Amino acid sequence: MTALRRRDHGGGLDAAIARFGGRRDDWLDLSTGINPRPFPLPAIPPADWAALPDSDMQARLNEAARGFWRVPEGAAILAAPGASALIARIPALKPPGRAAIRSRSYNEHAAAFRAHGWEISESGSDAAPDARPPEARVIVHPDNPDGRLWPGTGAGTRAHALRVIDESFCDTAPEASHVALAAGPDTLILKSFGKFWGLAGLRLGFAIGAPELIARLAEMLGPWPVSGPALRIGAAALEDRRWAGETRARLARDAARLDDLAGAAGWQPVGGCTLFRLYDTTDAGAAFAHLAQRRILSRIFPYSGRWLRLGLPGDDTAWQRLRAALAALP
């Protein structure tokens, strides 16, 4: 049996403990872009755990999602057990060809297309002209890790080609969303519930797009892809516009605070969004080790010896720990 190859991601606290020591409770994990102050969970009726998810709860979730993201008429919505479950299946929607994916981006997209026999055309820019338009194009918006926003132009593909716009981090800036494009043919918008709402363990994600594409994805996922508790929690969160507005304002304040701390340590901001910040540290490996020795987990990248990414601390104690660690940098 072939072992699953682990790709470069945030998290990995067990590996950090094995290398640097300590217990899980000792560590401050800032390696992900997950909101450290998640949406407060509603009460879950016992029946949600005991019964198969019913159609009424699924309809409530879809209605809440359509309203929250302003999904255009003509586009369909599919809830899934995490955006990653959708990413793994999307390449099967079209015959294998060439997929254009930015080289320094979320790496699960390229891995999924390769696994389905696609050729990957990687470049530094989604908007770069292409003499031979690809049969699929993936745009991560905002991109991970640099937070770059796609302007909505320059992503040409062949006629009837597939376009995937991953908006997993876009709920921090809803005005930048390209969800209106979901009404067109061969376009899919992906949404993640683990980032902005801070509920990565819930495993809930969404695909928004043409009804025929969504119907095929639904067939791939099978019946009851989302648990009853996840349906209830997702609907409650999407219906709570006040929490969303207050959270966006807090994240913006905290991102600016993080930039101030990093700047005082001599790090230069090079991108990110309000859920994570990317810095030029001159020596990312040394900075990573310095923080890890103080039981703070950050994120570095195999393609850059200078970039280090930090998520947001969640409370005053975490902020104080990070401030002290950065102040102690050599």
Domains and CATH numbers, the chain: 13-38+242-327 (3.90.1150.10), 46-239 (3.40.640.10)
pLDDT band per the 50, 70, 90 thresholds, residue 276: very high
Altogether, the residues listed in the chain come to a count of 330
Q: Which residue has the tokens 């716009």?
A: 165
Q: What is the pTM of this model?
A: 0.92
Query: How far is CA 190 from its chain centroid?
Result: 9
Exposure letters 58-67 (e unless 16+ CB within 10 A, then b): bebbbebbbe
Q: Return the pLDDT at 125.
A: 45
Euclidean distance between CA atoms 312 and 262, whole angstroms: 12
> What pLDDT is stored for residue 12 in this prediction?
85
Q: How confident is the model at residue 7 (pLDDT cuts 50, 70, 90)?
A: low
pLDDT score of 2: 41
Q: Quick one: pLDDT band at residue 155, thresholds 50, 70, 90?
A: low
Comparing CA positions, the residue from 116, 32, 88 lying closest to residue 311 is 32
Q: Band of the pLDDT at 122, cuts 50, 70, 90?
A: confident
The predicted model gives 78-98 an average pLDDT of: 97
pLDDT tier at 130, thresholds 50, 70, 90: low
Note the pLDDT of residue 103. Answer: 87
